[in-house]
Amino acid sequence: MNYTFSSFTDGLKSSAVRDILKLTQGNAVISLAGGLPAEEHFPIEAVKEAFERVFQHGGKSSLQYGLTEGYTPLREAICHRMAKKGASVKPENMLITTGSQQAIYLLTRIYMSAGDVVLVENPTYLAALQIFQASGVRVVGVEADQDGMLLDDLEAKLNLHRPKMVYVTPTFANPTGKVWSLERRKGLLALCKPNNVLILEDDPYGEIQFDEKAEYPSIFSLDDHPEGSAVMYTSTFSKTVVPALRTGWIIGDSRVIAQMAKAKQAVDLHSSTLDQQALHQLLTHFDLDAHIRTIRNEYRVRMELMKSLLQDPRFSDLHWNEPQGGMFFWVELPESIDANQLLKKAVEKGVAFVPGMDFYAENPRRNTLRLNFTHTDNANMKLGLDRLAEALDVYKQNV
């Protein structure tokens, strides 16, 4: 039997992050690679109680098939949370998805055809790039600084490439940790909306902010919404509650949501209703905002530790910015160092990171890498950075 695959598989590289995760699972390598939240802070009691409540109150009907759009009380509870962030939406403006990954996939599936253009930050989230590239969508990077996309370059590329969509993670981007300024958020909207260019705002990390008082309004909340909005906004409970429930959501114009729901019906009928009901119970009986404040504080402490370790003289030729939230340091190595080659030495020394190359839509810079600071405890973070310093030493000696 000869198997011949569709063109979708041509664009599907297995993600470097996932491959490395497999490599390092269950052995002595300290992984600063994955975008994993800290297990120590998982609210396991609250999750456990939430499931108990589902079984107790929902009974057997809680185990039946559910709606493709998602469990209605959960959608209502998320609407309530979104309203507190300046985004007024109704359940018909929301689709529950298997993580925000599925929201990106479904929107791409119903909105983008092969040959259409999407503009992205460069570098950007690699699994979004995978979706675009596998779907035959042409990906064009827009120049940016620490405050977000440069509006001049954005405007030029809107005119040149006539994109259908712009994909952005404006708050604590993966991999760069960047936060867009309010001016850039408004500027993106002002340039896209009159040109009928849809903005996909991906916000998995927005709630992991280190400055409790800072405000980062979503681009969605800055636009007239929900009907007729130029923005589709997606987020997830993977970073604030737990990843295992795989529950994300996307909000926006109800006509777009309706098309996504029809696509989801074909793709997997619906996501786990048991998990959705448990999340609803958790949101009702658990103080998630207090929990998020705990996580913010803990992750800030870990970020500070990694920052202090990166300030060691052994890393003096590395460049990085202090993240204001999220999960990552984005590190620039000296031009002469190839992070993919460095990774091999690093794994030999017992530490892993993600080379930056795969995050680039175009013009990849091989001397970049991403370090996660949320998943590793203090002792291992110190040991991990020591090993990274050793790997850099070995690398430099061998060149």
- Restricting to residues 120-139, name those near a second copy by CB under 8 A: 127, 130-131, 134
Nearest distance, CB of residue 244 and a second copy, angstroms: 4
The piece of 36-44, 79-87, 355-363, 381-389 that touches a second copy (CB under 8 A) is 36-44
238 is a site residue for a second copy (CB under 8 A): yes
Which residues are bridge partners to 249 per DSSP?
96, 235
315 is a site residue for a second copy (CB under 8 A): no
Interface residue with a second copy, options 26, 28, 215, 266 (CB under 8 A): 266
269 is a site residue for a second copy (CB under 8 A): yes
Comparing CB distances to a second copy, the nearer of 58 and 217 is 58
How far is the C-alpha of 127 from the C-alpha of 17, rounded, in Å?
A: 10
Q: 192 with 155: CB under 8 angstroms?
A: no
97 is a site residue for a second copy (CB under 8 A): yes
The piece of 50-58, 300-308, 317-325, 389-397 that touches a second copy (CB under 8 A) is 50-58
Secondary structure (DSSP) of 98-146: EHHHHHHHHHHHHH--TT-EEEEESS--HHHHHHHHHTT-EEEEE-EET
Residue 203's nearest CA partner among 226, 230, 180 is 180
What is the dihedral sign for C-alpha 378, 381, 383, 386?
A: negative
Interface residue with a second copy, options 139, 230, 381, 392 (CB under 8 A): 230
How remote is the C-alpha of 105 from its chain's centroid? Answer: 13
Interface residue with a second copy, options 76, 81, 190, 243 (CB under 8 A): 243
Distances (CA, A) of 8 to 131, 138, 369: 9, 13, 28
Comparing CB distances to a second copy, the nearer of 8 and 317 is 8
Q: 233 with 87: CB under 8 angstroms?
A: yes
The piece of 149-157, 254-262, 340-348, 353-361 that touches a second copy (CB under 8 A) is 254-262
How far is the C-alpha of 255 from the C-alpha of 93, rounded, in Å?
A: 8
Strand-pair category, 328-332 with 368-372: antiparallel
Nearest distance, CB of residue 196 and a second copy, angstroms: 5
27 is a site residue for a second copy (CB under 8 A): no
245 is a site residue for a second copy (CB under 8 A): yes
User: Please, which of residues 321-380 interact with a second copy by CB under 8 A?
Assistant: none
Count of residues interacting with a second copy (CB under 8 A): 84
Nearest distance, CB of residue 270 and a second copy, angstroms: 7
Interface residue with a second copy, options 16, 33, 66, 329 (CB under 8 A): 66
**What is the DSSP-derived secondary structure letter of residue 204?**
S
Q: Who contacts 70 (Cβ-Cβ below 8 Å, separation ≥6)? A: 94, 95, 96, 249, 270, 271, 276
Nearest distance, CB of residue 351 and a second copy, angstroms: 20
The piece of 107-115, 169-177, 203-211, 313-321 that touches a second copy (CB under 8 A) is 107-115
Comparing CB distances to a second copy, the nearer of 44 and 182 is 44
How far is the C-alpha of 223 from the C-alpha of 259, rounded, in Å?
A: 21
Type of residue found at 57: H
263 is a site residue for a second copy (CB under 8 A): yes
Strand-pair category, 30-31 with 351-352: parallel
Comparing CB distances to a second copy, the nearer of 25 and 284 is 25
Nearest distance, CB of residue 6 and a second copy, angstroms: 5
